[in-house]
A and B are shown apart, each in its own frame.
With several copies, the nearest count.
Chain A
């Protein structure tokens, strides 16, 4: 959404304003128009670094079913810097090419963009899913045979 770019612009502008004016807090709400500013207390004296590093909630949690939604929120923090392989379609996830085979990939497997990492079955068709990124598989985040929705994270990858 173009709106997000506008938001970034606004945040940058606000941070500049905060720094120049020694503000420690700005709080804006549009629904019912709130503005809240806070300047540094005198005893806090000098400068501090850029406070606004991690913007939380950039992607809202995926709502799969009421129960699961909440469970997926907390992973963000500890996995900082990891890449995600997401499902490009809706279907059923399989980690192996056939029931008796070994998994395509496991934690520790090196992948590049062309590596097939799993199969997703949709409408009786087995779709091979490629990694699209390079790195090392850190975690599989869905179970074999599990239904996955569009955009659902399948693997986490530590980039090279």
Chain B
């Protein structure tokens, strides 16, 4: 087993990983920027090292500093969390060169699945349904036009290196395609340093459903069922739940099988999330693989009783999973709300500041993952996520009731948070009925 792990992240996910290490008897090393110097979670790590100023580029994204910190503290491995360097193949490669374990996939698998065009090819190869679209990069407008007319409008233009909605354009006809194609390339170039784009058919009002998968170094692959993350605002997930409330067990099984086939074909190891779109007829289409642990992983932990971070660490230690698929049970319903320091009344603009009053919800069926507390200052330097509120109950109706009462008792003052927005969604008739899609928030909030 690994005996000493550096956590190359901050905030709630750093705390999440430190907690797992403590429970496993593994020493942990936290790194922090000067902005996070007083974070109380740092004292829960066995060591804490300042790696730079507040600016991420000089701290949490700075590979030499993180590697140096790993070297001077003699860790066996680095856990990158999510965001920052978690999907940076260059970082994973440097770890490997320096003889430091990377708690995540092998470099090759990360590169392969990180390239959306390659990922589509793999899915196609193992007969996993993909959204109709280009075979790969669409080199120019003329090709785009030809293809669009072949698969039929509406279509969507996406950056090969993309994420978070940047370099993305929805196009409904030839005229708008002309304007959008080059705009998407330029935006992708600016955002990712790589302008290549591809084209897919636009699935109208889809749900976002993803399968949690875990693979060990011996090629054992299991899934931990799916999460429904259709409640998004500008491609940022706000609320996630498991199971997906609209699919039947047979389709659930098919979905999971498809996810496992992709992961096996990519010779992937460690935690991955295979993302699909689900159309109005409950037909699903593979879209991409996230090669890291995700923000919403606690939803899966609640319904399966498995600690995914601990599995990541065991697998990175070289342990075989010894976990049979049929021993993984899905029980009840879990929902997560992301509590961000954003003002829903003001177009979700960031709301930094010092929290002078903080009362977290608790009681039966409630889990809170947060690094903040009364007296914490939310700085504008980082992601606005300040807490994840997760509930687990026997039924979806009960889970919604518990989430509502937990949101109602959550006090965070004076900064603005997404609590009222989450409450509004949880109370919405269509959400309660499970009749939502990825456009729900934009249409209804």
Contact = CB atoms under 8 A, between A and B. Distances in A.
Nearest to A147: B72
Going nearest first, the 6 A-B pairs with the smallest beta carbon separation are A147-B72, A31-B375, A122-B68, A90-B68, A149-B50, A32-B375
Given A32-B375, A32-B377, A150-B52, A92 B72 contact: yes
> Chain B: interface secondary structure?
mixed
B48 A60 contact: no
B51 A32 contact: no
Contact of B51 (A31, A66, A123, A149): A149
A63 B42 contact: yes
Interface string B45-72: 0111111110000010000110111011
B414 interface: yes
A150 B48 contact: no
A27 interface: no
B217 interface: no
A62 interface: yes
Residue among B38, B72, B356 with most chain A CB within 10 A: B72
A91 B68 contact: yes
Nearest to B29: A65
Given A3-B414, A150-B65, A32 B49 contact: no
11 contacts: A1-B379, A32-B38, A33-B356, A63-B37, A63-B50, A64-B48, A90-B51, A90-B69, A122-B67, A149-B50, A151-B34
B64 A122 contact: yes
A128 B183 CA distance: 45
A131 B374 CA distance: 40
Interface in A60-84: 60, 62-66
Interface string B206-225: 00000000000000000000
A60 B68 contact: no
Interface in B365-390: 374-377, 379
Contacts of A62: 37, 50
Interface in A14-71: 30-33, 60, 62-66
A31 B357 contact: yes
Contacts of B88: none
A144 B353 CA distance: 41
Interface residues of A, number: 24
A105 interface: no
A122 to B, nearest CB: 4
Nearest to A66: B43
Interface residues of B, number: 34
A65 B353 contact: no
Interface of B: 32, 34, 37-38, 42-43, 46-53, 59, 64-65, 67-69, 71-73, 98, 353-354, 356-357, 374-377, 379, 414
A156 B380 CA distance: 33
A123 B68 contact: yes
A89 interface: yes
A3 B64 CA distance: 30
A63 B37 CA distance: 8
Residue among A30, A32, A33, A152 with most chain B CB within 10 A: A32
Contacts of B32: 63
Contacts of B356: 30-33
B374 A65 contact: no
Contacts of B43: 63, 66
Nearest to B353: A1
Given A31-B375, A149-B50, A122 B65 contact: yes
B351 to A, nearest CB: 12
B50 A91 contact: no
Nearest to A62: B50
A81 B337 CA distance: 51
Given A3-B414, A65-B47, A152-B50, A90 B377 contact: no
B48 A63 contact: yes
Given A60-B37, A92-B72, A147-B72, A32 B65 contact: no
Contacts of B48: 63-65
